[in-house]
Chains A and B, each alone.
Chain A
C-alpha cells in the first residue's frame, strides 16, 4: 500500500538512528534553515580539506522525511569533493522533481526517498537538508561561512 512507499524501512531506520547527527565545532561551513510550513529546522556543518568534504554533520528536529534525508545526505557526501556533493544535490533535486531516475550506486539509501515524489507537500521536507548544504557550500570557502535564517 501507499504508506510503505513513503515510509520504507530504510527511511525509518535513518529517522530512528540518525547518522552524523552531532555538532561540528569550528566547522569550515555551517548553515541552518527552517521549513516555514512545519517548523522543521536543519543545521548542516561541514569540514573541507582541499576540496574534500571530510566531515558532514547535521542537527535539527523535524519529521521523518526531513531528518532521514539529512542523515542519508551526510553519509552520501562525506568523502566526496565539493563539486561531487553539489552535483549529487542537483541530481537528488532532480529525483524529487520526478525528472531524474536515480543511479542506485550513486544514490545509495537516498533512493528510498523517491516515494516522497507522490506527496508534493512533503518534497520540501526531503530537500530541506540539501538546500542547507548547497547554501553552506555556496560560500567562497575563504573563511568559515555561517548563514542563519
Chain B
C-alpha cells in the first residue's frame, strides 16, 4: 500500500493529545482539518524570520515577505492546475470568495428578471450571498432538486437553465451528503445558455484533484483551513475574463493605483480585490499545506479516503445507523452523515465525546438538505489523510455505548 495513514498521523502534533487517557479520534475534518508540523512551522517561520508587510517595503525584509507571499500564490494556483497566478485572488476562504463574486460581479451584471440557479445541497454560504444578490437586483432563485439517493435531480435541468440564467452556483462536493456533483456536465450546460459557473470547492479541494483548466468553471472558491492550511487562508480562482469584469469590493491599501480628490484608479487583477493588509503568513502556510498534499499525492489521498469511507459506511449500517447520501464511494467523498437508532445527533455527539471521538452534530449549515430528507439534524463523521480504520472501529464502539444509554 502506497499510503500509510498511521505514519501520516505522526506529522500532526495534535494527535499526541489524549482526553482522560483516551487518544483523540478526530472525525470532523469536513469542518476544519488538523495541521501538520510543516504548516505550523511555515507560518511560524514567516513570523520568526521574514515578517514584514507584503507589497510595501523597499527594504530587503519587505521584499522577502512579498516574494514568499507571491510564491504562495503560484504554488496554490498550481495545485488547481492553474499556471497563471494572477487568476488567484486571496481571501479568508470559501464564504468570502463566493460573496466577492456575488457582490463584485453580480451587482454589476445581474438584473431584474434574471435567474440564479443553485442546488438544494448547497451549504448556506452558497445560498445566502445569492439570496442577498437576488433581493438587491430583483433576480429570481431556482433550485436543482435532490433525488432520494442524495444526488442532484437533473431531470428538469433544461427548464432551470435558460437564457435568463446569469449564474449557476454549485458545490463540487456536498458537506452534508458527501455527494460529488457532475461538474463537467453542469459547466457545459450553464455555458450553453450563457451563464457563469461559480463552484463551491470547500469540500472538494482538500480531497479531489480539481483541474480548473479542464473543468472550465468561471470561478472556484476554496478554504485553506479544510486542506491542512491555516484559518483565514484560501481564495477565489477565476478566469481572467471574469476578474477583469469585476468591480472592486473593498477600497483601500494595495487595491489602489492612484488617488485623486474625486476618484481613484485601480491596481491590476488580482490585487484590485485585495484591500488592506492580507493574510500573508496564513497563505504562506497554505502553500506549505499544498506541498504536503502534493507529496502525499492527491490520487493516493482520494484512494485512502474512498477505502475508509467504504469501510465506515459498511460499519455504520451494520451497527444500525441510517446513512444519508450516496453509498457508492465512487460518487461521494468522506463526509458521512448518519442517524443512529433513536439517539438524537446532539446526544450522540455528547456520548462520543466521552470516548474522545469528535463528530459534528446538527444541520451542517445545510438546512435545505435536512428538510429534503425530513430530519432536523444528523451526526456526521468525516475523514482525511490522518484517519485510520481503527478510528472507524472506535466510532462504532462508541455508538454502541450511546445505544445503551438511550435504549428504550
Interface residues, chain A, with chain B CB atoms under 8 Å away: 1-3, 6-7, 12, 15-16, 37-41, 61-65, 119, 122, 125
B350 touches A39 (CB 8 A): no
B108 contacts the other chain (CB 8 A): no
B354 touches A3 (CB 8 A): yes
- Beyond A38-B376, A39-B362, whether A63 also contacts B344 by CB under 8 A is yes
- Beyond A3-B405, A12-B405, A16-B408, whether A39 also contacts B351 by CB under 8 A is no
Q: Which residues of chain B are near A65, meaning CB under 8 Å?
A: 346-347
B406 contacts the other chain (CB 8 A): yes
Q: How far is the CB of B295 from chain A (nearest CB, A)?
A: 37
Residue from A16, A41, A64, A125 with most neighbouring chain B CB atoms (10 Å): A64
A39 touches B370 (CB 8 A): yes
Residue of B whose beta carbon sits closest to that of A39: B376
Q: Which residues of chain A are near B361, meaning CB under 8 Å?
A: 38
A64 touches B406 (CB 8 A): yes
Residue of B whose beta carbon sits closest to that of A1: B354
Q: Which residues of chain B are near A7, meaning CB under 8 Å?
A: 347, 351, 405
Q: How far is the CB of A70 from chain B (nearest CB, A)?
A: 13
Q: How far is the CB of A13 from chain B (nearest CB, A)?
A: 11
Residue of A whose beta carbon sits closest to that of B375: A39
B363 contacts the other chain (CB 8 A): yes
Bitwise interface map of B from 348 to 390 toward A, beta carbon under 8 Å scored 1, else 0: 0011001000000111000100100000110000000000000
A39 touches B367 (CB 8 A): yes
Query: What total of chain B residues lie within 8 Å of the partner, measured CB to CB?
Result: 17
- Pick from A3, A16, A40, A119: contact of B376, CB under 8 Å: A40
Q: List 14 A-B contacts (CB under 8 A).
A: A1-B354, A3-B351, A3-B354, A15-B406, A37-B362, A38-B346, A38-B376, A39-B363, A39-B376, A40-B346, A62-B344, A63-B344, A63-B345, A63-B346
Residue of B whose beta carbon sits closest to that of A67: B344
Further pairs besides A15-B406, A61-B376: 14, Cβ < 8 Å: A3-B354, A3-B405, A38-B346, A38-B376, A38-B377, A39-B367, A39-B370, A40-B346, A62-B344, A63-B344, A63-B346, A65-B347, A122-B346, A125-B346
Q: Which residues of chain B are near A1, meaning CB under 8 Å?
A: 354
Q: How far is the CB of A16 from chain B (nearest CB, A)?
A: 6
Q: How far is the CB of A21 from chain B (nearest CB, A)?
A: 15
Q: How far is the CB of B68 from chain A (nearest CB, A)?
A: 38
Residue of B whose beta carbon sits closest to that of A36: B363
Q: Which residues of chain B are near A63, meaning CB under 8 Å?
A: 344-347
Q: How far is the CB of B6 from chain A (nearest CB, A)?
A: 29
Q: Which residues of chain A are near B350, meaning CB under 8 Å?
A: 3, 6, 119, 122
Residue from A3, A40, A61, A62 with most neighbouring chain B CB atoms (10 Å): A3
Bound complex: CA of A6 vs CA of B346, how far in Å?
A: 13
Bound complex: CA of A64 vs CA of B347, how far in Å?
A: 7
Pick the 3 closest A-B CB pairs, nearest first.
Answer: A39-B376, A63-B346, A63-B344
